[in-house]
Amino acid sequence: MTISFSCSNLRDDATSGNGDYRLDKLPETTPSTSVFDRADVNYRQFTELHGQVRDTRRKAHMAELESKTVERARCAPMHALEQLADYGFAWRDIARVVGVSVPAITKWRKGAGVTGGNRLKIARLLALIDMLSDRFIDEPASWLEMPIQDGVGITRMDLLERGRYDLVLALASTHTGDGTVEYVLNEIDPDWRETVVDNVFESYAAEDGVISIRPKQ
């Protein structure tokens, strides 16, 4: 009788009739480098897919906003301004978003002529309020004045002043996922942790490796 083995998993080769013992084929193992490579590929694919989904949602939001803007543009600017005031907007905030002075807003309220471009901006702001209402946001004016994140000196109104309606709608979504706030801040200012974080807060690396902010010790 002959015995051939390596490690374990011996079996009796009964069919051979000679009483030999042979090894079952050992399962193949995947090198750790291959596992890491596969995980890296999966992560990149997830990141790319997440970015595509976010971009698709952004385009859908903006398409809806433009559709509502067309509807709101039918309203006379004087009446549109009064509706914004009813929602709680201060004249200075409307002036900021539209990009004009408060005296200009005052003249428009009294019926003075408005350029087509400014009429469109007023209509777009009113259309945004319609969309915020659809997303169950009460008192939208005060919501827009809130900081995007505690300890960060950027508000949603600041986003509107910069024309980033898409980012405001991303924050208003009922399905806002993890990372949305950081994504918005990075879009506005990649150096936001150094430039717009209040002095009473500091940046730190959390346990998961993500850079976050906390009150200074």
* Backbone dihedral angles phi then psi of residue 202, each to the nearest 5 degrees: -140, 155
pLDDT attached to residue 201: 47
Please give the angle made by the CA atoms of 101, 104 and 109, to the nearest 5 degrees. Answer: 130
Measured CA to CA, the distance from residue 93 to residue 83 in angstroms comes to 14
| DSSP for residue 138 | S
Asked if the model's pLDDT at residue 7 lies above 90, the reply is no
The answer to whether the predicted template modeling score (pTM) of the entire model surpasses 0.85 is no
Residue pLDDT, tens place only, 81-129: 999 999 999 999 999 999 999 999 999 999 999 999 999 999 999 999 9
Distant-in-sequence, close-in-space partners of 93: CB < 8 Å, separation ≥ 6: 141, 144, 145, 157
Q: What is the CA radius of gyration of the chain?
A: 30
Higher-confidence position of 211 and 194: 194
Residues 159-168 have a mean pLDDT of: 95
Q: Are 152 and 198 in contact (CB under 8 A)?
A: yes
For residue 150, the SS3 value is: coil
Residue pLDDT, tens place only, 30-78: 666 676 666 666 656 555 555 677 788 889 999 999 999 999 999 999 9
pLDDT attached to residue 106: 95
Q: Are 100 and 93 in contact (CB under 8 A)?
A: no
Higher-confidence position of 10 and 214: 214
Give the DSSP H or E segment for 202: strand 201-205
Residue pLDDT, tens place only, 124-147: 999 999 999 888 798 999 999 999
Q: Which two tokens stand for residue 102?
A: 């408060």
